[in-house]
A and B are shown apart, each in its own frame.
Chain A
């Protein structure tokens, strides 16, 4: 689920074929609020049905497939509103799907094994999870509302509110770093006897989370922030 495919997505391609080549795109559909039963529709048809611009959909799909967003058409305000919606949906996925899943695996591991390191591992994960929630809250309560105000305003009165994209990316790197630590601890150091099914499920969940977090920050850094700066400039002109 966390692999990328080196197929460059183009508007006339069939969505079902694209999913077949890279199942991670299902996650993208879900973040766009698109049903998985895509029938025989092409990317263009799907975009029309759900009212998403082809430009935006293709750009994000290509991020999932391992390509950069270079050379896309500029995104308009409607696209950016969609992007924010997309990012909010992915927050929901972290909060109510991925983290509880990982958390329950770690708890189960602790029940099955007496090693005390596992208790510490659980503590580690909880501290980490708390930080992640803080970051998601920050985006939901500070960063996204700022962007929405920016999108809806025609003058520059709102710009007093300072939005720091640097603060933004610092948060991100910290989140990725701790996740890396967790994987390294499990892959290299913490000894656990057997229980391979559970441990594999845990690894897969961690890699799925890592992959979506990675795309999430790519979307913010290559689409949301540059386009936000573009709108600010336009307003100043």
Chain B
């Protein structure tokens, strides 16, 4: 497990352009909606006396009115999503399965991103599986294109499973509501809720691990059936439960480091000069790079584990 973990970091960091490409993908996907929101903000306060306080800090008076009249994607603008507030909001949305409901204006962008990500991830797995294989954008795109259809089918399958997980989560929360009906201590409610959150997160992560190994199996073994690949992924996790879970656990712990740093380096929302503004955006992008690095390192570690466990056919020449 530790060998696979270090191999994962080695493989991911050995292909820094892949990390940058993944980061660029998020930038490119987010940029159009950011421009829309930026223009909306500019139109709203750009020629009013709120322009200065918004440049140097925040004007709650302006925001109250803006929020009241916001439409579509504008509704998701909230100053408390800046910095770690946004990360924690996304984390809770992921566990509760309401990230899509809560930010419906971004669903189209998200779907598009996921489809492009499906291309990228195929190329990334091939790169990590065969570090000495062909390099370059063309090689990644070619590999990604080869597996894209299978990954999309796998995504549809995993969507059904994730839907089931969230239905289960909501059912457990309803049961919990009944159990908490006569509880008078918030602390007990907090621990009960955190326990459900942890349970849901664990299930999500393990389901995800199954589908990660399914993707790896598709690439390494050139499997064509999404269903059989999913079965293979699940079997792999069942046959190597400690290693599969251990890798996820290690990465979960490692992820706490950049998150803590992000909290610690949290840029102030008071930005009298351009320096503060640049720093705020820079730290945010640094967080995204760290998150993506971890994501790809995990994938590299899982690929290494899959290969070291002797699953699948030997590497292609």
* A and B associate in one complex: no
Report A's interface with B, CB cutoff 8 A.
none
